[in-house]
Amino acid sequence: MKSLLLTNEYPPHIYGGAGVHVDYLSRELAKLMEVEVRCFGDHDEKIGSIEVRGFALGTPEMTCPKSLQSPLGASRRCVDFNGAGINADLVHCHTWYTHLGGIMAKLNYGIPLVITVHSLEPLRPWKREQLGGGYDFSLWVEKTALEMADAVIAVSEETKKDILSLFNVSADRISVIHNGIDLNEYRPTRNPEMLRSLGVDPDRPYVLFVGRITRQKGIIHLVRAIRHLNPGFQVVLCAGAPDTPEIAAEMQQAIAAAQEHHGEIVWIEKMVSRPEAIVLYSGASVFVCPSIYEPFGIINLEAMACGTPVVASAVGGIKEVVVDGETGFLICLEQMKESPFEATEPETFASDLSSKINLLMADPELASRMGAAGRNRAEELFGWDAIARKTERLYAKLLQL
CA 374/CA 287 separation, integer angstroms: 12
**Which residue spans within 101-248 are E strands per DSSP?**
113-117, 151-154, 174-176, 206-212, 234-240
Q: Return all residues near 250 (Cβ < 8 A) that are at least 6 apart.
A: 220, 343
Range of the domain at 19: 2-180+383-399
Assess whether pLDDT exceeds 80 at residue 278: yes
pLDDT, tens digit (0-9, with 9 covering 90-100), for 196-216? 999 999 999 999 999 888 878
Q: One-letter amino acid identity for 278?
A: I
Is 182 within 8 Å of 385 (Cβ atoms)? no
Is 124 within 8 Å of 96 (Cβ atoms)? no
Assess whether pLDDT exceeds 80 at residue 61: no
Q: Do 246 and 318 belong to one domain?
A: yes
**Among the residues of 190-312, which ranges form H helices?**
192-197, 219-225, 245-259, 274-283, 298-305
pLDDT, tens digit (0-9, with 9 covering 90-100), for 128-167? 988 999 999 999 999 999 999 999 999 999 999 999 999 9
In a domain, 164, yes or no: yes
Per the DSSP assignment, residues forming a β-bridge with 236 are 208, 266
Q: Do 161 and 247 belong to one domain?
A: no
pLDDT, tens digit (0-9, with 9 covering 90-100), for 317-344? 899 999 999 999 999 875 444 444 443 4
Torsion of CA 111, 178, 222, 208, to 10 degrees: -110
Q: Do 172 and 212 belong to one domain?
A: no
Query: Residue 5, Cβ neighbours under 10 Å: how many?
Result: 24
Provide mean pLDDT across the span 26-41.
95
Q: What is the mean pLDDT of the chain?
A: 91
Q: Do 343 and 394 belong to one domain?
A: no
Q: Do 152 and 42 belong to one domain?
A: yes
In a domain, 187, yes or no: no
Q: Do 328 and 234 belong to one domain?
A: yes
Provide mean pLDDT across the span 35-46.
92
Domain with residue 78: its CATH number is 3.40.50.2000
Residue-level pLDDT at 342: 46
Structural domain count, the chain: 2
Assess whether pLDDT exceeds 70 at residue 187: yes
In a domain, 267, yes or no: yes
Assess whether pLDDT exceeds 90 at residue 99: yes
In a domain, 144, yes or no: yes
Provide mean pLDDT across the span 336-362.
71
**Among the residues of 230-363, which ranges form H helices?**
245-259, 274-283, 298-305, 318-321, 347-362
Residue-level pLDDT at 338: 41
Q: How confident is the model at residue 241 (pLDDT cuts 50, 70, 90)?
A: confident
In a domain, 64, yes or no: yes
Q: Do 238 and 135 belong to one domain?
A: no
Selection from 310, 283, 298, 289 nearest residue 373 by Cα: 310
CA 136/CA 123 separation, integer angstroms: 13
Residue-level pLDDT at 56: 87
Per the DSSP assignment, residues forming a β-bridge with 50 are 35, 47
Q: Do 376 and 390 belong to one domain?
A: no
Residue-level pLDDT at 60: 63
